[in-house]
Structure 1
Amino acid sequence: MKRSKLFGIALGCLMAVNLIGCGASSSSSSTGSDAASGDTIKIGIFEPKTGENGGGGAQEELAIEYANYVRPTVTVGGKEYKIQLDWQDNQSDKTVAVTAAQKLIADGVVGVVGGYGSGVCIAAGSYYSNAKIPAIGTSCTNANVTLGNDYYFRACYLDPFQGEVMANWAYSNGFTEVATIDNIGNEYTSGLVKTFTDSFTVLGGTVVDSETFQTNESDFKAILTNIKNSGVKAVFAPTDYLYAPLLLNQAHDLGLDVQWIAGDTWYSNVLIQDAGDNANGVVADTFYSEGGNPEFDAGFKEWLNADASRKATNLDTDAIVGNHAVSYDAYMLLCDAIEAADSLEGPAIRDALAALDESEGYACGPYKFDANGDAIKNTSYICQITSGEWTYQSTETVQK
């Protein structure tokens, strides 16, 4: 079956059988230690259902569930295997992430998809590698997720690229002096602040004020006051989503009127809900902008709208964000590698991923991995909240 036809098949199944009989997905964890049990194999889903990144994890899980609906089986050695999804909650916590990874390994998954948050992926990575189980990151952008790990790949771009893109956007839009906000000990935030600062400085810009905070802080009045006193007109704050509405709402209370610039974690409809009018004007980058692949958009939207609980998980909207697209792609990439390897053995699937060069069947376009296992991507989409909605602003490309 050509993968480019899978979107259309999913739509046909939705209309013809009302979500029954054209594919299977499971929301319960599997047990057992064999790679295949009869006609079933298990793919591990390593995402935060809870914790500070639970909202982002929920978005990604929706897309993975949809991908499993579109493609519920793989064929290996001439035999068709049903895919059972083994969901493990890493709770947005590095310690729990190790336990979740160990559970997936014990369950005998043939591969892992996930996840949201670089820190938890870094914590789990060596366990997958030691067990020779390939994993494909969804939106974990820190370079250390894949660096030195032959079994961890990723579908999204990296922080060095993302930081450069946002620095270019800030400088080209007339912001020559900015402030930054860093979360101490958070790999994602610290990595982005560093790459943004380096790139912005090379362009001729100046980071006037570099503010920091500790994980789980909720009162940002002191650092926001410092930023207000610095006189800058823009702030780069690539924090985890949890802190975004707190920063925006407290900045409004202090009368701090600046251009907020963020990373991909702020690109969520939850922000509009949680920060209201204070979110207007926020700029963030994302892996995918709705409209980029009309066939994917139509299929995913119809699937969301066919079940009230799915739509509720997506904040009662059928809007598509970048995390949906890369998570869908990560699942499809793993399925493609399994079939290309014609094997359920981890090393063979890993080798197939490393050699993969495909253009059809993905939401975000063609995929090929570099020597580190990172998808070769040079495009980001800049979006801004305008009148309570995310709107596309520009496509940014960095040539490597």
Structure 2
Amino acid sequence: MKLGKFVGLALMALTLGLASQSLAAEPIKIGVYLPLTGQNAFGGQLELEGVQLALKDMPEVLGRPIELVVVDNKSDKVEAANAVKRLVERDKVVALIGTYGSSLAMAGAEVAEKAKVPGVGTSCTSPLVTQGKKYYFRACFIDPYQGAAAATYAYENLGLRKAAVLMDMTNDYAVGLSSFFTRSFKKLGGEVVANLKYSSGDQDFTAQLTDLIAKKPEIVFMPAYFAEGAIIMKQARELGATFVLMGGDAMDNPDTVKIAGKAAEGFMQTAFPYDMTMKDMNDQAKAFTEAWKKNFPNKDPNVNATLGYTCYDMIIDALKRAGKADREAVTKALAETKGLATPVGIMTLNANHDAEIPVGILKYENGKRIYLGEIIPE
């Protein structure tokens, strides 16, 4: 072999080797769009902390480091869509995590779908988030399932037959969940005596609560966000209401008890299947809880953080099975997620890309949240 040709081949091999090393060191970007300011900031912050904790536990995959690119969607639908557009076009992320809030996730998912970028929703429970989508998935159950679980628990476990609903008519989550609870409670044989409404940001619920007290329901289902829900609790008890109050997963917040105080006593809610008080934690939930306490010693773990952690875990698992940081390959792998052990249980995604996990039930007693167990709706 001539010396020139030998040198040429050697240089080519060196170039390819350096390129391979460069690729191996190049980070895999995962986009995160969550409400870090605005109405839903508390939930978004918790979910981000869960994602960041997962990054500490799983900092690399396929021999490459993971880089999180975080964008605040500001609790606004337009901002959510813009955040996803930036992440997929400018930052070239391989996959997305987000978001807290179904209406925000619906806006983001539309952009991700057009860009053909896989995304995993955290706590966005509306069926519309993944409906008809090839590229969007979620780590949480959906509202028809959650609403049916709430109705089943009220009817079968509590033995209640007369219900009412109090909902935020301006919120997609509240409207949908109220509808599914009502439908399921009636199907079981119960009666829904009132369906009253309010708007996001309202502070005075006296008129609605007075009307509810007059209708004498045994239980009032109110799928509110925690701040408004806590105010409703206080005003209901001040008016002498004796009915059971039950909410949905958006009430799952440490500040619920702080705001409601003694009025939170006896309040019940559906929740994702994780809580630090649960008796039968799986190994992943135990590991998450220990890691959380180590990193956040002054703050109790929350299920929103758990869902953020789980979304990251699902994407890492999909990357491993895909064998490459390719959007289409990761999408295919996510769609095939089955039997993945996570802090919220064994994760399997169904044909609609929704998580098949049980619904937890929480009750507030003596200023503390008690995890009662799981319910499978009828």
Q: Does residue 373 in structure 1 map to residue 353 in structure 2?
A: yes
Pick from 305, 310, 320 the counterpart of residue 324 of structure 1: 305
C-alpha deviation, 1:297, in angstroms: 4.3
1:194 is aligned to: 179
2:337 is aligned to: 356
Pick from 34, 50, 60 the counterpart of residue 63 of structure 1: 50
The answer to whether the 8 A contact 2:152-2:377 is kept is no
1:302–1:392 Cα change, 3 Å: closer
Q: Does residue 54 in structure 1 map to residue 38 in structure 2?
A: no
The AA in structure 2 aligned to 1:354 is A
The AA in structure 2 aligned to 1:387 is N
Q: Does residue 118 in structure 1 map to residue 118 in structure 2?
A: no
User: What is the TM-score of this pair, normalised by structure 1?
Assistant: 0.83
Larger Rg: 2
Taking the aligned partners of 2:294 and 2:310, their CA distance within structure 1 comes to 21
The AA in structure 2 aligned to 1:205 is G
Q: Secondary structure at the match of 1:366?
A: strand
The answer to whether the 8 A contact 1:128-1:134 is kept is yes
Q: Secondary structure at the match of 2:228?
A: helix
1:305–1:359 Cα change, 3 Å: closer
Taking the aligned partners of 2:282 and 2:346, their CA distance within structure 1 comes to 15
Pick from 30, 33, 41 the counterpart of residue 28 of structure 2: 41
The AA in structure 2 aligned to 1:90 is N
1:264 is aligned to: 249
Runs ≥4 in structure 1, deviation > 4 angstroms?
none
1:155-178 residue CA offsets vs partner (Å, 9 max, x unmatched): 111100000000011112122111
Q: Secondary structure at the match of 1:357?
A: coil
The answer to whether the 8 A contact 2:288-2:343 is kept is no
Pick from 253, 256, 266 the counterpart of residue 281 of structure 1: 266
Q: Does residue 103 in structure 1 map to residue 86 in structure 2?
A: yes
| Residue-pair matches, total | 351
Give the fraction of aligned pairs with identical amino acids, expressed as a percent: 32
2:291 is aligned to: 303
The AA in structure 1 aligned to 2:352 is N
The answer to whether the 8 A contact 2:274-2:343 is kept is no
The AA in structure 1 aligned to 2:224 is T
Taking the aligned partners of 1:96 and 1:221, their CA distance within structure 2 comes to 34
1:352–1:294 Cα change, 3 Å: closer
2:127 is aligned to: 143
User: What is the TM-score of this pair, normalised by structure 2?
Assistant: 0.88
The answer to whether the 8 A contact 1:43-1:83 is kept is yes
Unaligned runs of 5+ in 2: 1-22
Q: Secondary structure at the match of 2:345?
A: coil
Q: Secondary structure at the match of 1:288?
A: coil
2:18 is aligned to: none
The AA in structure 2 aligned to 1:41 is I
Q: Secondary structure at the match of 2:355?
A: coil
C-alpha deviation, 1:38, in angstroms: 4.8
1:235 is aligned to: 220
The AA in structure 1 aligned to 2:220 is V
For the aligned residue pairs, the C-alpha RMSD in angstroms reads 1.8
